């Protein structure tokens, strides 16, 4: 008998798709699933973190990735008002959607917070979604209004009115990227881990 949680367990999907992880599926999901730490927590009705492995090991947040380092450089350039540098970072294929600070703030919010209209326009052109909110439910327009930068607020307002379809994409894009990134980290960690050790 297989684990009843396999229908909604995100790790099961990875084990099933990735041949290098098949041993995890055999050992836990199709084997002794009652010993799986994820299964045990799930039985109690608690939320099971994606970073919890069946053998009870927890994945630590890894050191900064290349993308995160690129994001830090971008935020620095914005806050120093270096418009040409910001432009060249996007020209070298940095994705505005993937760059988010630790509190969920976007590059657009950073540009607005210093009232730099030139960078605001660069970021809107690069695809930075003005509907995106940070962890405090604040979007770039609210930042502009709060910081009293009416020219930035007007440009963002006009852009939002002209592109209402971006509203739905704002949360969807972020959630997908976060989950995909976390899954990638989990899979690469699992490949190095011995499923038989606790």
Binding site for ligand SF4 (CB under 6 A): 3, 5-6, 9, 11-12, 28-29, 33, 36, 38-39, 42, 54
Q: Which is nearer to ligand SF4, 26 or 154 (CB)?
A: 26
Decide: 162 and 130 in contact? Cβ < 8 Å: no
Q: Which is nearer to ligand SF4, 6 or 105 (CB)?
A: 6
**Alpha-carbon span 161 to 153, nearest angstrom:** 12
Which residues are paired to 117 by β-bridges? none
Q: How far is the CB of 53 from ligand SF4 (least distance, A)?
A: 8
> What is the secondary structure of 101-115 as a DSSP string?
-TTS--HHHHHHHTT
Q: Which is nearer to ligand SF4, 11 or 86 (CB)?
A: 11
CA angle 75, 173, 90 (to 5 degrees): 40
Q: Which is nearer to ligand SF4, 11 or 119 (CB)?
A: 11
Q: How far is the CB of 87 from ligand SF4 (least distance, A)?
A: 45
Q: Which is nearer to ligand SF4, 11 or 144 (CB)?
A: 11
Q: How far is the CB of 51 from ligand SF4 (least distance, A)?
A: 13
**Alpha-carbon span 85 to 120, nearest angstrom:** 13
Q: How far is the CB of 115 from ligand SF4 (least distance, A)?
A: 49
Q: How far is the CB of 170 from ligand SF4 (least distance, A)?
A: 31
**Alpha-carbon span 180 to 178, nearest angstrom:** 6
Classify residue 58 by its DSSP letter: B
Decide: 75 and 107 in contact? Cβ < 8 Å: yes
């Amino acid at each position: 008998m297989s684990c009843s949680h396999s229908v909604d367990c995100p790790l099961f999907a990875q084990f099933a798709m990735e041949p290098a992880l098949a041993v995890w599926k055999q050992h836990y999901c199709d084997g002794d699933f009652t010993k799986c730490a994820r299964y045990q927590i799930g039985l109690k009705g608690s939320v099971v973190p994606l970073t919890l492995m069946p053998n009870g090991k927890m994945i630590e947040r890894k050191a900064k990735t290349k993308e995160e380092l690129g994001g830090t450089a971008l935020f620095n350039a914005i806050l120093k008002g270096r418009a040409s540098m910001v432009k060249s970072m996007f020209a070298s294929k940095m994705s505005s959607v993937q760059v988010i600070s630790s509190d969920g703030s976007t590059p657009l919010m950073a540009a607005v917070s210093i009232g730099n209209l030139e960078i605001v326009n660069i970021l809107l052109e690069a695809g930075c979604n003005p509907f995106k909110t940070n962890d405090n439910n604040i979007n770039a327009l609210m930042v502009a209004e709060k910081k009293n930068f009416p020219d930035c607020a007007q440009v963002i307002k006009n852009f939002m009115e002209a592109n209402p379809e971006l509203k739905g994409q704002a949360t969807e894009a972020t959630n997908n990227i976060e989950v995909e990134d976390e899954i990638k980290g989990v899979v690469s960690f699992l490949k190095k881990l011995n499923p038989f050790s606790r």
